[in-house]
Chain A
Amino acid sequence: MSKIKQKHIHNKYLRQKKKFPHVWCPGCSNGIVMGAIMRAVGELEWRRTNTTMVSGIGCSSRMPVYVDFNTLHSLHGRAIAYATGIKMYKPKMDVMVVTGDGDATAIGGNHFIHAARRNINLTVILINNNIYGMTGGQYSPTTPTGDKATTTPYGNLDPTFDICELAMGAGATFVARTSAYHAVETQSFIKQGLEHKGFALIEVISACPVIYGKLNKKGDASKMMRQMKENIIPVKSFEALTENERENKLKRGIFRKEIKPEYTAVYDKLIDSLKPEDGEK
């Protein structure tokens, strides 16, 4: 995409005059993901009026205020439930959810798995920074075991969630993972997720140098980017590794893409089947 076109997309989709500067820390990956979302929507030429972005609470969940769609910054953990109400009532509307690891898989875990089970046509963009950033660095369900957080002064005892496995287990029909370092891939996966008719999860591993990185001595933003480049590898490369070599590595790619009946379409069929036939009253 040319620079001119990119600038045009940013002008079109950002609430530039109203809501900047943003709240995110220096080196945060959220802006990269927001850019990818806008470019994906731009490529699809979606109408802003027909596009809704819903979020919960957390760093990534502050995103809706900056973009010029229909936007809803809902309650902690509940973004997918709010989005379900919107999508169910207006199935023709394009609805995406921007959420984080704590928002979607701790407090909002119930809504996450059930929306995946229903296969309702929502695109969930989950920015996983391995920490609760907004509240200052407490451990989340994806903080690696042994890592430091402000509530794991002796190292994290909890095993971690594999969010993509969780989504697939619950029945999601599009599941992908990438990282903010792989910005072009992020944009491509988001675009495919937006196009997908069914529940789509795109997990984007992100860098939080100011809180998670500092607590765990991961270095500055550029160093964390390099680590994402080296450690988050394509599925094929990952599978070629031995068990020992896989430590600290994470696979990226599209793990599932399949077509199954979509929830709102199934419900609309029910409505059609209940319509009285001609002549019948």
Chain B
Amino acid sequence: MKSSDKMILMQGNEAVARGAIDAGVDFFGGYPITPSTEIAEILSAELPKIGGKFIQMEDEIAGISSIIGASLAGAKAMTATSGPGFSLMMEGIGFAKITETPCVVVNVMRGGPSTGLPTKPSQSDIMQSRWGNHGDAPAIVLYPDSVKEIYELTIRAVNLSEKYRTCVVLLLDEVLGHMREAVVLPDLEKVKIVNRIKPTVPPEWYKHYQDKPKYIHPMASYGEGYRFHVTGLAHDACGFPTNRADEVKIMMDRLRKKITHHLKDLIQVENFQMEDAKTAIFAAGITARAAKTAVEKLRKSGKKIGLIRPLTIWPFPDEAIKEYFKDVNTIIVPELSQGQMLGEIQRVMGGIWNINTSKTKRIIPIQKCNGELITPDDIVNKVKEVR
């Protein structure tokens, strides 16, 4: 579909579906769950039109399993879910990471734990998106704040999964998934699409896992003449199981280094009015939009305040935070959880920063987890209250 210069009204979940198709996604396997269901509904209609495949599986475990299978057969594959389904997918996400199989999981976050608040917003899956699967493996997690950015980051999520051969998670706030906004989508010709690198060596030389160059390595698909083995067991370069310490170390180091060697490529942070700021807000997703309005209001009354918003929430933007926050004396962390991002800010800023207490170098949390949003006034009032 061409979308040049036309402004259209679009829902966040619809933007995921559109972004997925424009990124080349041609396989979706999933299971219905509020508030992500529209993504599956739209793709069930659109994918067969372009020769792609949609399948509603029997549960979320089957959903993540089917997309990993399809990806091994050459698909650009995606699933979408919410909290309970995200929990069920964790073993599969770990499998995609250890087998270095590209795929994208969209988690439209709702209130938890358990069934929680299916139709209310929450930002409490941030830690699960990083640490949910058992075992050590870094995560790439993107976090948009508008319908247009959902479209862009969906494409980016697919691109990154193909480039780095891993499972990439896209976090959406429930309200963003369901919100409709006027958006202008870019011309498709201008959208950058990344496809996994294909091997060029003869099949008998092919190794499914390699360390060079820079841990970005080619990937064959089933049926292309490269017969290879894939296992969730620790494996050697050919993919065969091993428990030799030296070989396991190579695998584990690669899983980590392919992320840590590419932080510049992976991390995106928006800075808003931070130039002379003495007070800084760190917020993501829908809460960052409230924070932006709060910054504008407070600026009008002369407050030197700015906002840092991560578009990549994992890997966490440690260096950007240290740089932007080096001259501020107060950091406000509003979030729809009981302090998941707060803990990260404390970790990055170090021990001299304290919550609430000191006058300089203090961190002020604003937290809501009752299904309501943090409003601009919540932030404005807090800033005025603490001076």
Query: Do A and B interact with each other, yes or no?
Result: yes
A contact residues vs B (CB 8 Å cutoff): 18-19, 48-50, 52, 54, 64-65, 68-75, 78, 81-86, 88-90, 93, 110-111, 114, 267, 270-271, 274
B residues 110-165 with Cβ under 8 Å of A?
none
Query: Do A81 and B66 contact each other (CB < 8 Å), given the known contacts A18-B238, A89-B74, A111-B58?
Result: yes
Separation of A271 and B231 alpha carbons in the complex (Å)? 32
Within 8 Å by CB of A110, from B49, B55, B59, B69, lies B59
A83 — which chain B residues lie within 8 A by C-beta?
Answer: 69
Q: Please state if A70 and B66 are interface contacts (CB–CB under 8 Å).
A: no
Q: Please state if B53 and A110 are interface contacts (CB–CB under 8 Å).
A: no
Q: Please state if B69 and A82 are interface contacts (CB–CB under 8 Å).
A: yes
B contact residues vs A (CB 8 Å cutoff): 26-27, 29, 48-49, 51, 53, 55, 57-59, 61-62, 65-75, 77, 91-92, 95, 222-225, 227-233, 238, 240-241
Within 8 Å by CB of B70, from A71, A75, A85, lies A85
Q: Please state if A85 and B241 are interface contacts (CB–CB under 8 Å).
A: no
Separation of A267 and B29 alpha carbons in the complex (Å)? 14
B55 — which chain A residues lie within 8 A by C-beta?
Answer: 84-85, 88
Q: What are 22 contact pairs spanning A and B, CB under 8 A? A: A49-B227, A52-B223, A64-B229, A65-B241, A68-B227, A69-B227, A70-B223, A72-B69, A72-B72, A74-B65, A74-B68, A75-B91, A81-B66, A84-B57, A86-B72, A86-B222, A88-B53, A89-B27, A110-B62, A111-B62, A114-B57, A114-B58
Within 8 Å by CB of A89, from B48, B59, B70, lies B70
Query: Do A65 and B229 contact each other (CB < 8 Å), given the known contacts A75-B91, A81-B66, A267-B53?
Result: yes
B61 — which chain A residues lie within 8 A by C-beta?
Answer: 78, 81
Q: Please state if A267 and B68 are interface contacts (CB–CB under 8 Å).
A: no
B62 — which chain A residues lie within 8 A by C-beta?
Answer: 78, 81, 84, 110-111, 114
Query: Do A84 and B48 contact each other (CB < 8 Å), given the known contacts A50-B223, A75-B91?
Result: no
Separation of A74 and B222 alpha carbons in the complex (Å)? 15
A70 — which chain B residues lie within 8 A by C-beta?
Answer: 222-223, 227-228
B247 CB, min distance to chain A CBs, angstroms? 14
Q: Please state if A85 and B58 are interface contacts (CB–CB under 8 Å).
A: no
A267 — which chain B residues lie within 8 A by C-beta?
Answer: 48, 53
Q: Which 3 A-B pairs have the closest CB atoms?
A: A85-B69, A85-B66, A81-B65
A235 CB, min distance to chain B CBs, angstroms? 31
Q: Please state if B240 and A90 are interface contacts (CB–CB under 8 Å).
A: no
B26 — which chain A residues lie within 8 A by C-beta?
Answer: 89
Q: Please state if B72 and A88 are interface contacts (CB–CB under 8 Å).
A: no
A72 — which chain B residues lie within 8 A by C-beta?
Answer: 69, 72, 229-231
Separation of A84 and B223 alpha carbons in the complex (Å)? 15
Chain B: CB-nearest residue to A70: B222
Q: Please state if B227 and A85 are interface contacts (CB–CB under 8 Å).
A: no
A274 — which chain B residues lie within 8 A by C-beta?
Answer: 48-49
Q: Please state if B92 and A78 are interface contacts (CB–CB under 8 Å).
A: yes
Q: Please state if B231 and A65 are interface contacts (CB–CB under 8 Å).
A: yes
Q: Please state if A49 and B27 are interface contacts (CB–CB under 8 Å).
A: no
Chain B: CB-nearest residue to A84: B66
Q: Please state if A65 and B72 are interface contacts (CB–CB under 8 Å).
A: no
Q: Please state if A85 and B77 are interface contacts (CB–CB under 8 Å).
A: yes
Separation of A93 and B74 alpha carbons in the complex (Å)? 12
Chain B: CB-nearest residue to A19: B240
B100 CB, min distance to chain A CBs, angstroms? 13
Q: Please state if B73 and A86 are interface contacts (CB–CB under 8 Å).
A: yes
Separation of A154 and B71 alpha carbons in the complex (Å)? 46
A74 — which chain B residues lie within 8 A by C-beta?
Answer: 65, 68-69, 95, 232
Chain B: CB-nearest residue to A83: B69
Query: Do A86 and B69 contact each other (CB < 8 Å), given the known contacts A75-B92, A267-B53?
Result: yes
Additional 6 contacts, C-beta under 8 A, given A74-B95, A82-B69, A86-B73: A65-B240, A72-B229, A81-B62, A85-B66, A85-B70, A90-B73
Chain A: CB-nearest residue to B236: A18
B207 CB, min distance to chain A CBs, angstroms? 12
A50 CB, min distance to chain B CBs, angstroms? 6
A75 — which chain B residues lie within 8 A by C-beta?
Answer: 65, 91-92, 95, 232
Chain B: CB-nearest residue to A94: B223
Separation of A64 and B95 alpha carbons in the complex (Å)? 17
Separation of A54 and B72 alpha carbons in the complex (Å)? 12
A275 CB, min distance to chain B CBs, angstroms? 8
Q: Please state if A88 and B70 are interface contacts (CB–CB under 8 Å).
A: yes
Chain B: CB-nearest residue to A68: B227
A71 — which chain B residues lie within 8 A by C-beta?
Answer: 227-230
B341 CB, min distance to chain A CBs, angstroms? 31
Separation of A26 and B19 alpha carbons in the complex (Å)? 54
Separation of A223 and B299 alpha carbons in the complex (Å)? 87
Q: Please state if B27 and A18 are interface contacts (CB–CB under 8 Å).
A: no
A81 — which chain B residues lie within 8 A by C-beta?
Answer: 57, 61-62, 65-66, 69
Within 8 Å by CB of A88, from B27, B58, B233, B241, lies B27
Within 8 Å by CB of B223, from A49, A78, A82, lies A49
Q: Please state if B228 and A85 are interface contacts (CB–CB under 8 Å).
A: no
Separation of A111 and B67 alpha carbons in the complex (Å)? 14
B223 — which chain A residues lie within 8 A by C-beta?
Answer: 49-50, 52, 70, 90, 93
Separation of A20 and B26 alpha carbons in the complex (Å)? 38
Chain A: CB-nearest residue to B29: A85
Q: Please state if B73 and A271 are interface contacts (CB–CB under 8 Å).
A: no
Within 8 Å by CB of B69, from A18, A84, A271, lies A84
B237 CB, min distance to chain A CBs, angstroms? 12
Q: Please state if B73 and A93 are interface contacts (CB–CB under 8 Å).
A: yes
A69 — which chain B residues lie within 8 A by C-beta?
Answer: 227
B160 CB, min distance to chain A CBs, angstroms? 21
Separation of A81 and B59 alpha carbons in the complex (Å)? 10
A19 — which chain B residues lie within 8 A by C-beta?
Answer: 240
Separation of A84 and B56 alpha carbons in the complex (Å)? 11
A90 — which chain B residues lie within 8 A by C-beta?
Answer: 73-74, 222-223
